[in-house]
Copies of this chain bind each other. A is one copy, B any other.
Amino acid sequence: MEQKWDTTVLVGQSGGPTAAINASLVGVWEAAYRLGARVVGMRNGIEGFLAGATVDLDAIVSDPLQAELLRHTPASFLGSCRYKLPDPEDDATPYQELFSRFEALGAGAVLYIGGNDSMDTIEKLARYGESAGSPIRFMGVAKTIDNDLMGTDHTPGYGSAAKFVATSVHELRRDSDTYFMKSVTVVEIMGRDAGWLTAAAALAGAPGQDGPDLFLLPEAPVSLDDIVSRVDKLFKTQNTVIIAASEGARTPTGEPLYQDESVGVDAFGHAAAQSGLCRYLAGVIKERLGVKTRAVELSTLQRCAAHLASATDLAEAATLGSTSLQAAASGATGMLSVIHRISDDPYAVRYGLKAISDVANGVRTIPRSWITPDGMGLTQVFLDYARPLIAGEVHPIFVDGVPWYPRLAKE
């Protein structure tokens, strides 16, 4: 007989949106539905929930058409937040409020879909719950385009963002090759601490052909002089040069290659809005080499371009949502579902569980051996790792010429 769970599942989304975060939401709902559990959504994560904002997800997702549309919709359907809980040992006040609300809803499980910072939140909730003797189970569902979460082969959201980056760089390369003149295009790609998404530009094709000619990654610091002299050398054999530059690119002394004076710091202490690197580099190269340069910042587009999502990514995102909920039903708490790779070719994975306390607040970077010795290229090992993650296209429904994405009614 199939397992049943007569409870309420509370689910929230947090942190920066991705193209796959709603596929995970649908995955959570589907597993809960199979168990007979009700699903309530937190509106704008923990922050909105503290203000009493919830959504009856059963009323929406039980319609198979709405579920399918939601699966292909970018950006957190439930809304997001960047809300940092204090350590429960230092200040229990928000926890008392949260747990009283959890209990009022009859919640048996709380699932939180998010990145590193969201895992920090769920880990603290689990810790407080354990100390308070609460039976509620707290599970994380990973998502981040940055792919920098510890303990998992890769994270949902990365494959779709990587597919957008690779496709865009491929198309930009064609555009830049159009003119018979020397030019440099600097493409700035997200990733504060890890270069995974910048490296994904290598999936566009080989250097000098459809892919970038050089990569600037946080994992492999290079000096401005080395960058300029490499570009100069490339011009001996080709007309156009494409640079894929991570927003977190660094110099050998550990400084950012470019630091915007106006940068602020967000609630988690991260430097916010690091941008301008592409324009800075384009300016320096133009001045030193006297060639035409262009700066292209892929900006927020890279995390919300659901029309170009990876089918593999969306499927895995839904599965991770389902396996997290199933694990909660089986008694797990303070954990998240992760992906282990069995093989690159044929691409095969299995799903597992990790204690969030083992992965929260760490940053997984590209192994140095996956980057070429000069620090400016990617090896075949990286390509073999990343290629399967962008496999498969989706075909969202277009209405009146633009994708149709369902949205919650405003409160």
A341 within 8 A of B: no
Among A131-139, A189-197, A315-323, A387-395, the stretch in contact with B: A387-395
CB <8 Å contact, A17 and B401: no
Number of A residues whose C-beta is below 8 Å from B? 62
Identity of the chain B residue whose Cβ is nearest the Cβ of A167 in the assembled complex: B402
> Which residues from B are CB-within-8-Å of A268?
none
Contacts of A387 in B (CB 8 A): 400-401
Least distance between A202 CB and chain B CB atoms (Å): 11
B-facing residues in A173-187 (Cβ within 8 Å): 174-180, 185
Residues 19-60 of A contacting B (Cβ, < 8 Å): 44, 47-48
Please determine whether B179 and A80 come into contact, CB atoms closer than 8 angstroms.
yes
Question: Which one of A163, A174, A405 has the highest number of Cβ atoms from chain B below 10 Å of its Cβ?
Answer: A174
Question: A83: shortest Cβ distance to chain B, in Å?
Answer: 10
Q: Is the CB of B401 within 8 A of A390?
A: yes
With beta carbons under 8 angstroms apart, the residue of B44, B301, B391, B401 that contacts A180 is: B44
| Cβ contact within 8 Å between B402 and A391 | no
Nearest CB on B from A373, distance (A): 25
User: How does the 8 Å CB contact mask read for A284-323 relative to B, with 1 for contact and 0 for none?
Assistant: 0000000000111111110111111010000000000000
With the chains together, A393 CA to B307 CA distance in Å? 11
Tell me which residues from 252 to 294 in chain A have a Cβ below 8 Å from any Cβ of chain B: 262, 273, 283, 294
A304: chain B residues within 8 A (beta carbon): 171-172, 174-175
Beta-carbon contacts of A57-75 to B below 8 Å, as 1s and 0s?
0000000000000000111
Name the contact of A163 in the complex, choosing from B76, B303, B391, B402 (C-beta under 8 A).
B402
CB distance from A271 to the nearest CB of B (A): 15
- A99 to B60 CA separation, bound complex (whole angstroms): 68
Residues of B within 8 A of A166 (CB): 401-402
Let me know if A205 is at the binding interface, CB within 8 A. Answer: yes
User: Which B residues are CB-close (under 8 A) to A44?
Assistant: 179-180
**Is A154's CB within 8 Å of the partner chain B?**
no
- Chain A 79-101, CB within 8 Å of chain B: the 1/0 string? 11110000000000000000000
Given contacts A294-B300, A407-B174, whether A180 and B402 have CB atoms under 8 Å apart is: no
Q: Digitize A356-369: 1 where CB-to-B-CB distance is under 8 Å, 0 elsewhere.
A: 00000000000000
CA distance in complex: A310, B400 (Å):
11
A180 touches B17 (CB 8 A): no
A7: chain B residues within 8 A (beta carbon)? none
Q: 1/0 contact trace for A374-402 toward B, CB 8 Å?
A: 00000000000001001111010010111
> Nearest CB to that of A200 among chain B residues?
B401
**Which among A171, A298, A300 has the highest number of chain B CB atoms within 10 Å?**
A171
Judge if A204 is at the interface, Cβ distance under 8 Å: yes
Q: A172-B304, A297-B297 are in contact. Are A178 and B402 (CB under 8 A)?
A: no
Partner of A48 from the list B168, B180, B295, B307 (CB cut-off 8 Å) is: B180
A81 to B179, Cβ gap below 8 A? yes
A403 at the interface (CB under 8 A from B): yes
> Is B301 within 8 A of A301, CB to CB?
yes
A171 touches B305 (CB 8 A): yes
Taken together as a complex, chains A and B put the C-alpha atoms of A319 and B398 apart, in Å, by 24
Whether A143 sits at the interface, judged by CB under 8 Å, is no
* A73 in contact with B179 (CB, 8 Å): no
> Is there an interface contact between B180 and A75, defined as CB atoms closer than 8 Å?
no
Closest 10 CB pairs of A and B: A390-B401, A75-B174, A175-B304, A171-B304, A44-B180, A80-B178, A75-B175, A296-B299, A76-B178, A75-B178
15 A-B interface contacts by CB (under 8 A): A17-B178, A76-B178, A81-B179, A82-B179, A167-B402, A170-B402, A171-B304, A171-B403, A171-B405, A172-B301, A210-B407, A294-B299, A294-B300, A296-B301, A387-B400
